[in-house]
Structure 1
Amino acid sequence: MRKGIIDRFEGDFAVVEFNGETEDILRSELPAEAKIGDTLIFEEDSVTIDKADTTKRKNEIQNLMDEVFEE
C-alpha cells in the first residue's frame, strides 16, 4: 500500500505526489469523484480516497490560513 495526494489534473492524467515526488496516473484509474487535494490509497488492485486524511489535511491547511490572515 502507498498513499499519494492529487496535486493537479493535466488532460487525461492526475499528477499525484508521493513523498515529495510526482507521478502521472491516468484519471480513469482513479475513483470518479477524486479531486485535487484528495489523499489516495493505492493497493494492489484498487485505488480509494482516504476521506479521513483528506479532511484532516484540509482542516490543518485552513487553520494555517486563518493564522496567516488573522486581523
Structure 2
Amino acid sequence: MRKGIIDRFEGDFAVVEFNGQTEDLLKSDLPEDAKAGDTLIFEDGNVIIDKEGTASRKKEINELMDKLFED
C-alpha cells in the first residue's frame, strides 16, 4: 500500500506527492471526484480517496492556520 496527496492538476495529469517526492499521474487513473488536497491510497492496482486521511489533514492545517493568525 502506498499513500499520496494530490498537490495540483496540470492538464491531463495530477501531481501527487509521495513522501516529499512528486509524481505525475494521469487524471484518468484516479477517482473521478478526486481533487487537490485529497489523500489517496494506492493498493493492488486500485486507487481510492482516503476520506478520513483527507479530513484529518484539513483539520490539522486549519488548526495551524488558526494559531498562525491569532490576534
TM-score category, normalised to shorter length: over 0.9
User: Could you say what the CA RMSD is over the residues aligned between the two structures, in angstroms?
Assistant: 0.5
Runs (4+) of structure 1 moved beyond 2 Å?
none
CA distance in 2 between partners of 1:68 and 1:39 (Å): 24
Shift of 1:46: 0.7
TM-score by length of 2: 0.98
CA distance in 1 between partners of 2:21 and 2:61 (Å): 20
Where in structure 1 are there 5+ consecutive unaligned residues?
Answer: none
User: Aligned pair count?
Assistant: 71
Where in structure 2 are there 5+ consecutive unaligned residues?
Answer: none
Identity %: 70
Structure 1 SS opposite 2:56: helix
TM-score by length of 1: 0.98
Partner residue in 2 for 1:42: 42
